[in-house]
Structure 1
Amino acid sequence: MNALFQDQRDEIVNAWVDAVFNTYALETTGFLRTQNDPFANPVAHMTREAAGIVYDAVAGEDVDPAQVKKAIDRFVKLRAVQDGTPGQNLGVFLLLKPILRKMVLPRCSGSDALTSYYLEAESRLDSVMLLAFDMYTADRDIIAESRITEIRNQHAQLVRWAQKVGGSPLNPAGKE
């Protein structure tokens, strides 16, 4: 059954990575596709690495769950700090479905067993998406807390500065 997904693995993963790159601005897309140095282009490197691991998990390969979770986590952390809605940032996982439907599903015709195996793969992709969503919301909560702390610190620093120069909204100059 795994041959159904593994025969075209590299082609499918590359198509998916291209679809993910297409979610970025046009000027960024070219850089992501052409710069292969993992230090100069960590986004593309991490995307390619995560895509391969996630694909193997979706295909039903025996992949270590911790490795899959790590790949998803790295990918989600990157998307969580980028502009865009959760749907835009996490929708990249769902970009795999039309690729699978185009490249794998036609090979299932006439076989209930293959069709069933294919549908299980789509269910695994849905599970990956739900795990990614949970991770994404946790990451966004951390980012929000960091921003709140930063604003509080800036406000406290402005109040201290204003008090030093002779006035503060909390303690106007000359009034005790």
Structure 2
Amino acid sequence: MTFESELAERKDELSEKWAELILRTYPKETQKIWVRQKDRFQNPVGAAIFEATRALVDLIIEWQDAEKIAEELDRLIRIRSVQDFTPSQAISFVFLLKKLLRDEFFKPMQAEDRLGDLLRFEARVDNLAMMSFDIYSKGREEIYRMRVDEVKRSQSNLLRKAGMIADVTADSSAD
């Protein structure tokens, strides 16, 4: 039996455990609510974390569609990037998967002399971390660009109201 097929057999359990590890990175009161309440309307963030980990475990096992993997990573990263996490904390959820895999499989695989299979699979998790860093960086760039654009619009509006610059739309309609 391949390591991927072992993971596939336990994917629901593993994705649930991974989501719970992620939720433990939040303050205690938040954890209590998000772990207990899985309804997507009463707990959209917790539900999104559980859904994303479920999808990611499937995608990591298959390791076929980088675009879909990036989409699911983006879902988790967007949640964590707007919260009070440092960049490393925001993407640390990827390494929690590695911890989970080692906790669940290291000893049995060591006893069966199959640690190479685990290490090969962990390379996928390392690739997820690199993808996550790229996604996080791109998202932050987007946020900063939006902030700069907003400042430019605000300054332009102030200058226009002060009569220091002409209203381009009013000038072009006079032609």
TM-score, structure 2 as length reference: 0.80
Task: Please give the per-residue CA displacement for 1:10-41, whole angstroms capped at 9, x wherever unaligned.
Answer: 33322211111122223322221222222332
Query: Which stretch has the larger CA shift, 33-42 or 45-54?
Result: 33-42
Which gives a bigger RCO, structure 1 or 2 (Cα 8 Å, sep 6+)? 1
How far off its partner does 1:6 sit? 3.5
Instruction: Structure 1: give runs of 5+ residues left out of the alignment.
Output: 171-176
How far off its partner does 1:57 sit? 3.6
Give yes or no for the alignment of 1:150 onto 2:150: yes
Q: Which residue of 1 aligns with 2:127?
A: 127
**In structure 2, distance between residues paired with 1:42 and 1:141:** 25
**In structure 2, distance between residues paired with 1:154 and 1:29:** 39
Query: Which stretch has the larger CA shift, 87-96 or 101-110?
Result: 101-110
Instruction: Structure 2: give runs of 5+ residues left out of the alignment.
Output: 166-175
How far off its partner does 1:138 sit? 0.6
**In structure 2, distance between residues paired with 1:65 and 1:40:** 31
Q: Which residue of 1 aligns with 2:89?
A: 88
Task: Please give the per-residue CA displacement for 1:136-166, whole angstroms capped at 9, x wherever unaligned.
Answer: 11111000111111122223333444x27xx
Q: Which one-letter code corresponds to 2:15 in the other structure?
A: V
Q: Is the 8 A contact 1:36 1:44 kept in 2?
A: yes
How far off its partner does 1:7 sit? 4.3
After superposition, residues 33-72 of structure 1 pair within 5 angstroms as 33-58=35-60, 60-61=61-62, 64-72=65-73
Cα RMSD after superposing both structures = 2.3
How far off its partner does 1:52 sit? 1.7
Task: Please give the per-residue CA displacement for 1:101-160, whole angstroms capped at 9, x wherever unaligned.
Answer: 111111102334x31111111110000111111111111100011111112222333344
Q: Which one-letter code corresponds to 2:154 in the other structure?
A: Q
Q: Which residue of 2 aligns with 1:30?
A: 32
Task: Please give the per-residue CA displacement for 1:40-75, whole angstroms capped at 9, x wherever unaligned.
Answer: 3221222112112222344x3365443322211222
Q: Is the 8 A contact 1:4 1:104 kept in 2?
A: no
**In structure 2, distance between residues paired with 1:28 and 1:150:** 32
Q: Which has the higher helix share?
A: 2
Q: Is the 8 A contact 2:19 2:49 kept in 1?
A: yes
TM-score, structure 1 as length reference: 0.79
Q: Is the 8 A contact 2:59 2:68 kept in 1?
A: no
Q: Is the 8 A contact 1:4 1:107 kept in 2?
A: no
Query: Which stretch has the larger CA shift, 141-150 or 4-13?
Result: 4-13
**In structure 2, distance between residues paired with 1:27 and 1:156:** 44
**In structure 2, distance between residues paired with 1:70 and 1:45:** 16
Q: Percent identity, aligned pairs only?
A: 28
